[in-house]
Chain A
Amino acid sequence: MRYALYLGCTAPVRAMNYELAARHTASRLGIELVDINDFGCCGFPLKSVHHEAALLLSARNLALAEEQGLDICALCSSCTGTLAEANHALQNEELRERVNEELETTTGRRYNGAIRVRHLARVLYEEVGPERIQEAVTVDLSGLRLAAHYGCHYLKPNDVHDGFDDPENPHSLDQLIEALGAASIYYEGREQCCGGGILGADEETALALPHLKLERVVAAGADALVVICPFCDIMYELQQRRIEKLYEARYNLPVVFYPQLLGLAMGLSADKVGLPLNRVKSRKLMEIAR
């Protein structure tokens, strides 16, 4: 298994814990992640502004991976969705030809529509699989009650993800969590969006979304919220103190990236999975790491 690692803009700056855990666990599981220095923004922020420019930014990244003969493995769900959507659209030869003309003039590159775009969690689920993950577990996580947050672009729009999982009632992340021996618990509004897409446009409205989720996850008695997207993490972890202030509440809910849990279960150190970088500390996870 060899993939071009697509970091995106957010993870390498705001979620180094995620990146660390992703790199270390992937390498342990035999997934080779190749860095491509020329990767840039996926195009997501431009979709609202200029459709054609957004598509060109996506095509540029797809072409870069294709030049190396590699499929893309992305850490950010929005990057995954944006690149997968562009890839889906660019399977249309007429559109691809038009985009390539412009891509070649501006960047000297072409995209032939030959690669696949995958989120890291999908690679773990489909190509490694819960059974092999279960076999790799050496540290017991069975005392943990975890709340899975799928986010949106990991699975939606579902047609660009080849119908992977079920966007209405998803199970892949739950199974990945359960493969570690932990319990994936039910909570109200599991499918609800983090609000990250409108944080810039209207902060107060945006923060009302993670507020609801934090309330519901804490009410369900979770030890931590499990995320697979750096922007979801910004909303639930980095904004958590602010939300507590705005709503005069106290959650103190640890938010962890799935590969961090995976790494701990495989016996990796706290440093290797970036646990010291988590803002809301989890006593239980720190004990497990010891």
Chain B
Amino acid sequence: MSMVIDASQMDPTFADQIAAEPGGEHIRRCFACGTCTASCPVREVTERYNPRRIIRMAVLGLREAVLSSDFVWLCSTCYSCYERCPQDVRITELMHAIKNVAVREGYIHPSFRVQVDLLRQHGRLYDITGFENEKRVEQGLPAIVERAEDFGKIFAATGLDTLVQPEEKGVD
């Protein structure tokens, strides 16, 4: 990414689009103090993730740079910034909102595509095979029955099914 911002790449409606998203409502409250970045445990270990920078980029309208980035997927959702933000920007939820927009525009991190698939098939992140249940019963724990039917129906009704399709295509 070039360090010089090209004004022609700025989309003034981008912040409004995020603000219209559940969790993104408070984006324009940010006064860029950096408490989020100072509190961030991921920022402590890598410079690739910087919440203040992401919010600033979004407010400036750098739509493609934000949505196609891999850094928006690096929020560990610890809510440290959420608790400390003096402007109540609710940054963890704001990051969720940005990722929701990214998914709708065709950018989903492959690991989340895998998780959607697991939920669609099993209703759980770890599938329960005979092996797992055997181990559970051996320990005196009750066997678990997978109930995935409701998940398929919920994914179809919300449009998640068409948005994130089972087969590997359009991955960025």
Contact = CB atoms under 8 A, between A and B. Distances in A.
Contact of A152 (B77, B139, B158): B77
B80 A193 contact: yes
The interface centre, meaning the residue of B77, B112, B135, B147 with most chain A CB atoms within 10 A of its CB, is: B77
Given A13-B126, A60-B150, A156-B82, A48 B73 contact: yes
A265 interface: no
B59 interface: no
Nearest to A37: B145
A205 B109 CA distance: 15
Given A60-B150, A102-B158, A106-B157, A201 B116 contact: no
A108 B62 CA distance: 43
A206 B148 CA distance: 29
B142 A35 contact: yes
Given A10-B125, A13-B128, A50-B103, A153 B153 contact: no
B79 A157 contact: yes
B164 interface: yes
A40 B150 contact: yes
The interface centre, meaning the residue of A52, A198, A277 with most chain B CB atoms within 10 A of its CB, is: A198
B100 A51 contact: yes
B67 interface: no
Contacts of A41: 119, 123-125, 151
Interface string A43-82: 0011111111100110010000000000000000000010
A168 B83 contact: yes
A208 B44 CA distance: 9
Contacts of B92: 157
Given A10-B126, A157-B92, A205-B46, A49 B73 contact: no
Nearest to A95: B22
Given A41-B124, A200-B112, A208-B45, A156 B154 contact: no
Contacts of A196: 76
Contacts of B34: none
A191 B79 CA distance: 11
Given A9-B126, A53-B154, A201 B74 contact: yes
A274 B103 CA distance: 41
A57 B151 CA distance: 8
Given A45-B112, A168-B83, A202-B74, A106 B154 contact: yes
B158 A193 contact: no
A208 B158 contact: no
Contact of A198 (B73, B156, B164): B73
A197 B75 contact: yes
Given A12-B144, A20-B140, A208 B46 contact: yes
B48 interface: yes
Contacts of A9: 124-126
Interface in B39-55: 41-42, 44-46, 48-49
B156 to A, nearest CB: 8
A106 B149 CA distance: 10
Nearest to B145: A37
B147 A40 contact: yes
23 contacts: A10-B125, A12-B141, A12-B144, A16-B136, A40-B119, A45-B116, A48-B99, A48-B112, A51-B23, A56-B154, A102-B158, A152-B77, A156-B82, A157-B82, A192-B41, A197-B76, A198-B73, A200-B109, A201-B70, A201-B109, A202-B70, A205-B46, A208-B45
Shortest 5 CB-CB distances between A and B: which pairs? A200-B111, A156-B79, A193-B78, A208-B45, A197-B76
Interface of A: 7, 9-10, 12-14, 16, 19-20, 23, 35, 37-38, 40-41, 45-53, 56-57, 60, 81, 102, 105-107, 152-153, 156-158, 167-168, 191-193, 195-198, 200-202, 205-206, 208-209, 212, 274, 277
Given A40-B124, A45-B125, A50-B100, 4 more contacts: A13-B128, A16-B135, A40-B147, A209-B76
